[in-house]
Amino acid sequence: MSTDPTTSPSPRTVLVTGGNRGIGLAIARSFAAAGDNVVVTSRSGSAPEGLEAVQADVTDAASVDQAFTEVEERFGPVEVLVANAGITQDQLLLRMSEEDFTSVIDTNLTGAFRVLKRASKGMLRMKRGRVILISSVVGLYGSPGQINYASSKAGLVGMARSLTRELGSRNITANVVAPGYIDTEMTQQLSAELQDQYKKAIPAGRFAAPEEVAEVVRWLSSDAASYISGAVIPVDGGLGMGH
């Protein structure tokens, strides 16, 4: 076992919320391929082929606690937490109900808080941890019809930076990955016309594959990134120009 605090013994226990599909699934597969013990949370409790799953709804603290307990019993404390679960509920401000706003905040922002709080206990005991919060280019760039979503994603930046200040001296890093438009069920809901419009605004001229986000997340949790914390890493084909 390594005695260097900046390097991790392998395999690590990795938990990816909402890892049953989309970007979360690509992230989970990337860690699994690298030899880590990966568990995804899914609301149904069913596991994608070749991966382990626990049932969890991030809007419910008791469900989150139970999921962590199961993971800890099977693999030991979670060393890498990827808070990926997220939803959209788009509506222009004048038509956006309070429920449209609070439900998105509850899943995307408070949900990340719930898993982070639970994960931090084990990380503090281990004196080691990596937290990656999946935000969005929209969090810093803004987007019409997404006041709820953009607010939730911008909030994750303050969360990662505050965590960095609170637990940074304990060998725990917290970073934000801000994807642009990624080809998943979330973006497949957009009309073909809107997808074309977005592609014209993206310097790369295309949406990304979920794997292009996954590799960045895995690298951020690797020993190579041990001195990066409180950062926002865009994976957006240049759309946000570094924001």
Contacts with 19 (C-beta within 8 Å, 6 or more apart), sequence order? 25, 27, 28, 38, 39, 40, 41, 42, 48, 51, 53, 82, 84
- Could you give the angle at the alpha carbon of 173 between the alpha carbons of 167 and 176, nearest 5°? 120
Catalytic one among 149, 181, 198, 227?
149
Residue 39 CB, shortest distance to ligand NDP, in Å, is 13
Q: Tell me whether residue 40 or residue 172 sits nearer to ligand NDP (CB atom).
A: 40
Nearer to ligand NDP, 82 or 126 (CB): 82
Q: Kindly list the residues in this chain that would bind ligand NDP in the complex (CB under 6 A).
A: 17-18, 20-24, 41-44, 56-59, 84-87, 107, 111, 134, 136, 179, 181-182, 184-187
Is the Cβ of residue 134 or residue 172 nearer to ligand NDP in the bound state? 134
Tell me the C-alpha distance between 161 and 158, whole Å.
5
What stretches of 48-146 show up as alpha helix (H) in DSSP?
61-75, 98-105, 111-126, 137-141
Residue 176 Cβ vs ligand NDP, minimum distance, rounded to whole Å: 11
Taking the least distance from each CB to ligand NDP, the nearer of 9 and 144 is 144
149 catalytic, yes or no? yes
CB 139, min distance to ligand NDP, A: 8
Nearest 5°: the CA angle 87, 103, 60 is 90
Q: What is the set of active-site residues?
A: 149
